[in-house]
Each structure stands twice: as C-alpha cells, then as structure tokens.
Amino acid sequence: MKTILLSLFIAFSFNYCFSQFQGVVYGIENNKKSPLFGVTVKSITSKNAIITSEDGSFAFNNNHYPDTLVFLAIGYYPDTLIVTVELSKIALSITLYSDQMIEEVVITARKNDYGVLKLKTLNVETIGEGEIRKAACCNLSEAFQTNTSVDVTITDAVSGAKKISMMGLDGVYAQIQLENIPYLRGLESSFGLSSIPGTWIESIQITKGTGSVVNGYESMAGLINLELKKPDKMEKLFFNAYVNHFGRSELNFDGSYKLREKISGGWFVHGSTFQNEIDQNKDGFRDINNSKNFSVLNRWKYEGKKMVVFLGINAYRQNKFGGQVGYSPSVQTNLYGSNVNANHIDAFAKTGFMFKNTNRSLGIVYNLKYQTTDALFGVRNFSGIEKRAYINTIYEEKIGGSSEHILKTGASFVYSDISQNLDSLIPFTSSQIHLNRVEFISGLYAEYSLQKTRLSTVFGARVDYNSLFGIQVTPRLYGKYKITENIDFRFTGGKGFRTPNVIIDNISLLASSRKWFIDSKAQQEISWNYGGSIVYDFFIKKRKNTFTLDLYRTQFVNQLIVDRDISIDAIYFRNIQNQSFSNTLQAELNLSISQSFDFRVTYKHIDVQAPFNNQMRQQVMVQKNKWLTNLSYRSKNKKWEANCSLILNGKMRMTMVSLSNGIETKNSQTPMYPIINGQVTYIYKKWDFYIGGENLGNFKIKYTIVDPQNPFTGAYFDATCAWAPVFGTVVYGGIRYKLKQQKH
C-alpha cells in the first residue's frame, strides 16, 4: 500500500474559498522528489477531473464531503485520498512513487551445509552443522557417516579404536588440524577421534590432495580442518543428551559469555560412558568395549581495532577396556583383555595484527601439547609420552594493493619429543622395544597467488631443516580454471613428508599373537600427490544441483608398509621405494528435488597397492568400491527433519588367516555388505527431539576374532580382522536445547 504524505504548509489562506481545496502532487523516482505536471486528479463523487500545473499544484471545487480523490500519472503508482471537511481547510501534499519500484519482497534461503567451496582455489569440501546433525554424531569418528571422502573403520575387535582414511590411505597420511593448528597426531592418532564431540564442531573442511605450504609439509593424502563454535557467535547455552539401547550415554554442554565489550568466551564440556557387557556372537569376547571419556575446552576471543586474539585450553581423559567377558583392569584374572588410558592437555593461541595499510596482515599461531597413552593388549604393554611445541608466523600482502596478486610468507618451528615403549613384543618373552625420538623442525615458506577472472593459480614452496633427516624441500602447485559460469576445474600437485611412529600408528595390531619385525633404520615417508576435480552446477526448475568428479593419485617415493603376507605368525614393517601407490576416483551427484527434499548419491573406487610378500597386491582391509545414497527431508514449517542413508561397502582383501578356522589362505575377499542409517528430528521452539537407528539392516559378521578360545597360547589368535560391524542394529534417541545469544 502506498503512503500518502500529508503536510500542513499553509495554515489558512486569506483568499480561502470554503468550497475549494488545493495542494501539490510530488513524484519520487531514484530517491529524488519533484513536483509532477499532468497528474489527473479525479473526484469519485462528482466524476469531475482536473490536471496539475507545471509546479504540480491543483485546486478542486467541491461541495460534497466526504469525497474520494484518485491521482493518476503515467509512470507512477496511482493513489487515493478520502477528503473530509477538515482536510478541505488545509493545503495538501501528495506523493506518488515510480512504478519501477518493486513491492516489498521477502526472500528466504536455506544454507548449504555440504558441498565444495566455490570461491576456494583448492578442492575444499565442507560439512556444516546441519550435515553433522544427520547422524547421532556423538564424536568426530561418527561425523562422516553421510560422506565418502573420509572413511572411518574399527581397527580391532577388543580395543574399539577407530581410524580414518582418505584416498584409501591410513589417516596418518591426512593432516588433521583444529582451526589450522596441528591436531590428532602422534600418540593421539589412534584413540583421539572420540575426544572431540560433534556438537562442538561448527564445520569440517576436507581438502583433497596436497594442501597449502602454510600448513606444513605433512599433507600427503589431504587435510581435515575442524572449526569449533566461535565465542561471539555460538549459543549462550547448548545442551545435548544421547542414549542408545545398548546403554551408551553421553552429555554435552557448551555456552558463551561476555567478559567485556571486546572480550568474549566459550566453554565446552563432554562426558560419555558405556559399562555393559555385550556378546551377541557368543565368542566369549565383548562386542563393544567399555569406555569412559571426559573432555573440556575453554576459549576466549579479543577483538580490537588493530588486533584479534584467540586463546584456548583443551584437555581430555579417556579409558577404554575390552576383551573377554568378565575381564576388568582392576581385577587380576587369567582372562584376555585390552586397556587404554589416555590423558591430554594442550594450549593454543592465534593472534592477528592489522596494519594501517589494509593490504598487509600478520598472524601468529602457537600450540603447546602434553600427551600420555598407556595400553595393554593381553601380555603386551605399551606406554608413551609426547611433548610438542609449535609456532607458525604468517605474513600476507596484496602486491600493489590488488587482490589479483597475493603473497604469503612465513616461518614455522616444531619441537617434538615422543617416546614409545613396548614390553613383551613377543608373547611370553622379555623382548622390549623402545622408540624414543626428539625432533626439531624449522622451516621457511612462501606462497604466491594469482587470482584472475577465470584462472586462479597458487604456487608455494617451503624449505625445512629436520634435526634427524636434514634439509627437505616441499613444492606445491594448485589452481582453478572456470571453464564456464557453471563448470570449475581444479588441479593440484605437490610433495609431502612424514616421520612414522611405528608402534602407535599400528597399535591395534598388538591384538594378535603375531610377532613384530621392524626395520632398524628409521626413514621418512615421502610421496607425491597429484590430481584434479570438476564441479558442474546445473539447474532444474530453478533449483541448483551439483555433479562432482575427483581423480587423485598418491605415489610414494618411500613408504613404511605393514606386510602381513610373508608369514602367518608375523608382521613385517618394511621400507620400500618407488613402488606403492594409491589411485582414487570419486563421483558425486547432489540433487535438490524440492524445497524440502535433497538427494545425494556417491560412488568411490580405490586402488591401493604395494609389494606385499614381493607381489603387488591390494592393501588389506581397504574396500575397492563404495556407494552411498542419502535422502534428506525438512518440512516447510521447519518442525521436522529426517534423513536416511544407504551405504554399500565393496569387497576387501583379507590377511592370510581365514576367519572361520584359522587355516592359512591367500588373497581371500570379504563379501559386499550394506549399512542403513536413519534419523528423525522434531523441533519445538528451543528444543530438538531426535530418534534414529544405525545398521538398520542388522548386518554383522559372525566371526570377529580368529581362535578366540586360545588368546594366549594359540598360534592363530587375531582380533584385527573386524571388517564389518561386530554388533547389529543400534537404536538411539536424544534431546538438544539451544538458548541463543541476545543480539544488540
């Protein structure tokens, strides 16, 4: 409805005629107000009409009140005015608006919680809070259930440890960071996934291929960056409670507070426990390990005119034990058991400085960490201590003040002191192994970005001096070419290094009777990774859909492989040169069927080979093919959310031991098997109520442990062959509560 502006600019005119009312008609166009000539002023009662003069004025004789006047002008919206006796005594000011102005429009949009970041030169896939909520997502290991770029598997049937993999390679080859600070490495790599609840996470960015040299030299198969909720944006109070029908329970709390105008803080608390004995396949071993986990994190943010500071401290304590039914770490028995205790504390900080020249900035990242991990597998005892210090200084400048040319340069320093001690390496012997290492790594790096309309390229290189291995050079190149408005092509290539931690990287392999044989000379692992991706956006009924195709290869110059094919009773850790590789092909289609329905289908092919027992073979326990389909629903009133996923897991090559009778076999394969997950959420004001199920098809393997009756004396005992779920369907439910911050 158009607004008629009435103003009194002449109280009474000396030559006022009672039967005449007068005024001026104005028009507004492009925010400019001016008198309108030629406006038709028509009386509904008398049917008479007049035309405004050049100055927009009009005078109308009328003896019938009330009356309705209609104002008509070409190029303007018409308007009406009801004239009473009172109005006839004053001068009128009428304003008409251009018909080129649109009426009020309310635009609603739904944030995309999953997909490739279009503006990034690197191939970065993001998983937002909405995507994470599709699963029960009690911790980080369960945050990738609707994603195939990252796989999560159980390492063994007694400790319950989980590991991630990217491009078919173990997670140690993927660099994991917490807000661009190295995380889940060293002693944390095998058990740390359960220390970060999914409710703490704001988003996860998955970079495929080698990443930026700014983040270091260790990204060999990709990079996973975790972004936590920010103090100034997170909820004032958030609460999540979860329980499943087996008895696993969890509580999560987090919230924000304001210390001063420029200082805000956030706190996070997590606790989970499982204390029941479950043995569905009746092999005498727990199907689910007992666990206790407690994590806390506190962080602060200061935002000034010239400086931004993030500070935080993170700590957790976890205990896991499993093994034969009746086993308890606190009671000495003749039962086989596993027991893992991990304690962690780290402090981190990030400071950013803004110069008067807005084309320059400086950032400094700090991290101090202390970690202990103790583990027992039958008669094998492991103990480890890790101390780590990290600092990275990043200077960025827009060359010539242009965003087309950006230079990043800086220096980093890492101090790593890690000790790994293993007793009774061979059962019933006094064999011991001690792998203690102190490393100093100092590095310089530079990265130049050229950002054009269609082509963006980034070339980077870093030179690091390692106190154990000398000088290493890491070149990286990646870019993006916009083929059309809707088709992007990305490419990447670069080198990566890492120092292996033999025992903790493979600690789950202690859950067997096999002897270990390790190359005495420690060597760095070196690889080249190159590949590319195509992202195609297309529209159906004005809805955006996306097709993505990725192809990457990792070629190792040197790799420490775990060879279980040489002997049935031994594991060999061998360094090999220029033979092992990983090829990955992934295709994904995301469809927006309607405002309420989204559909995703993904296929991934993995070819990971190395010379096992001097023959090129597929890596054990790595599926060659994987399919995922996901259907998501959200009601128009935003009260209901639902999703369902079907994951079809392909065949995997197993080790030399058959799961059925302990007889030596070669190149046996597991069958294909499906996993079905689903969840329904009801949203009522500040409350979310959700219920769901995992492995709804109730698929589980009958034999998870080889020769479970003889864990101490049997030559074939092996609990590392859990290639599929050990237990069946899991039904869970939970409640979430959100109290948002007040916006001023």
Q: Residue 331's domain is classified under what CATH number?
A: 2.40.170.20
pLDDT (average), residues 252-272:
92
Q: Are 289 and 281 in contact (CB under 8 A)?
A: no
Q: Per-residue pLDDT averaged across 621-644, rounded?
A: 94
What pLDDT score was predicted for residue 8?
Answer: 33
Residue 3, domain member (yes or no) = no
| pLDDT of residue 429 exceeding 50 | no
Write out the H or E segment, with its range, that includes residue 67.
strand 67-72
* Alpha-carbon span 447 to 476, nearest angstrom: 9
Contact 338, 322 (CB under 8 A): yes
The reported pLDDT for the residue numbered 140 is 84
How far apart CA 596 and CA 640 sit, in angstroms, is 10
Checking if the pLDDT of 7 tops 70, the result is: no
- Domain membership flag for residue 144: no
Q: How many domains does the chain have?
A: 2
> Tokens 């103090």 correspond to what residue?
231
Range 337-363 average pLDDT: 91
Of the pLDDT bands very low, low, confident and very high (cuts 50, 70, 90), residue 658 is: very low
Q: Are residues 91 and 237 in the same domain?
A: no
Q: So what's the pLDDT on residue 34?
A: 86
pLDDT in tens, 463-484: 999 999 999 999 999 999 999 9
Does 15 score more than 70 pLDDT?
no
Average pLDDT score over the chain? 87
Is 193 contained in some domain?
no
Q: Give the mean model confidence (pLDDT) for residues 56-82.
A: 83
**Torsion angle of alpha carbons 396, 401, 404, 406, nearest 10°?**
-10
* pLDDT, tens digit (0-9, with 9 covering 90-100), for 39-56: 998 888 777 888 888 888
Q: Which residue has the tokens 């096999």?
A: 514
Q: What is the pTM of this model?
A: 0.83
Nearest to 313 by CA among 363, 366, 272, 353: 366
Residue 691, pLDDT above cutoff 90: yes
Q: Which residues contact 604 (CB under 8 A, 6 or more apart)?
A: 148, 584, 585, 586, 587, 625, 626, 627
**DSSP-derived secondary structure for 215-280:** G-S--SSEEEEEEEPPTTTS-SEEEEEEEETTS-EEEEEEEEEEEETTEEEEEEEEEEEE-----T
Strand, coil or helix: 505: helix
More confidently predicted of 304 and 458: 458
What pLDDT was estimated at residue 657?
58
**Per-residue model confidence as pLDDT tens digits over 78-90:** 888 888 777 666 7
pLDDT at 513: 87
What was the pLDDT predicted at 108?
56
Which of 47, 76, 97 is at the close of a domain? 97
Q: b vs e for 231-242, b when ≥16 Cβ sit within 10 Å of the residue's Cβ?
A: beebbebbbbeb
Confidence band, pLDDT 50/70/90 cuts, at residue 92: confident
CATH of the domain at 85: 2.60.40.1120
Helix (H, G, I), strand (E, B) or coil at 494: strand
CA 321 to chain centre: 29
7 belongs to a structural domain: no
* CB-CB contact of 728 with 699 (8 Å): yes
Scanning the structure block, which residue is given the tokens 């206790």? 292
**Mean pLDDT of all residues in 242-254:** 94
Of 574, 563, 648, nearest to 612 by C-alpha is 563
pLDDT at 5: 39
89 and 236: one domain? Answer: no
199 in any annotated domain: no
Q: Is a pLDDT exceeding 80 seen at residue 105?
A: no
Mapped onto helix, strand or coil, the DSSP state of residue 442 is strand
> Tokens representing 125?
């896939």
| 698 within domain boundaries | yes
Cβ atoms of 361 and 162 closer than 8 Å: no
Parallel/antiparallel/unpaired status of strands 570-577 and 515-518:
parallel
Question: Contact, 373 vs 191, CB < 8 A?
Answer: yes
Place of tokens 């003069």: 53
List Cα–Cα distances, 109 to 129, 488, 594, in angstroms.
Answer: 16, 24, 13
Under the banding of pLDDT at 50, 70 and 90, the label for residue 250 is: very high
Residue range 439-459: mean pLDDT, rounded:
94
Q: What is the pLDDT of residue 137?
A: 67
Q: How confident is the model at residue 110 (pLDDT cuts 50, 70, 90)?
A: low
Beta bridge partners of 657: 664
In this prediction, residues 560-587 reach a mean pLDDT of 92
What percentage of the chain carries pLDDT values higher than 70? 92
Indicate if the pLDDT at residue 669 is higher than 90. no
Question: What pLDDT does 106 receive?
Answer: 54
- Between 149 and 400, name the one with better pLDDT: 149
Q: Is the pLDDT of residue 191 over 60?
A: yes
- pLDDT band with cut points at 50, 70 and 90 for residue 430: very low
CA angle, residues 104, 108, 110, in degrees to nearest 5: 170
Q: What is the pLDDT of residues 354-384, one digit of tens each?
A: 887 778 899 999 999 999 999 999 888 999 9
- Indicate whether 407 belongs to any domain: yes
Residue range(s) defining the domain that contains residue 75:
20-97
For residues 573 and 170, what is the distance between their CA atoms, to the nearest angstrom? 15
Specify the pLDDT at position 3: 40
At residue 240, φ and ψ (nearest 5 deg) are -140, 130
Residue 434 lies in a domain: yes
Structure tokens at 528: 């080249």
Query: Is the confidence at residue 63, as pLDDT, over 80?
Result: no
Are the CB atoms for 498 and 189 separated by under 8 Å?
Answer: no
What is the DSSP annotation of 111-179? ---EEE-TT-SS-EEEEEHHHHTTS---SGGGTTTT-SSEEEEE--TTT--EEEEETTEEGGGEEEEES
Q: Could you read off the pLDDT of 491-550 as tens digits, one per residue?
A: 999 999 999 999 999 999 999 888 888 887 778 999 999 999 999 999 998 899 999 999
Residue ending a domain, among 55, 70, 97, is: 97
Q: At 6, is the pLDDT very low, low, confident or very high (cuts 50, 70, 90)?
A: very low
Indicate the residue among 69, 97, 125 that finishes a domain: 97
User: Which run of H or of E encompasses 502?
Assistant: helix 502-505
Work out the burial of residue 364: count CB atoms within 10 Å of its CB; fewer than 13 is exposed, 13-18 middle, 19 or more buried.
Answer: middle
pLDDT of residue 599: 96
For residue 660, is pLDDT > 60?
no
Q: 522 and 669 share a domain?
A: yes
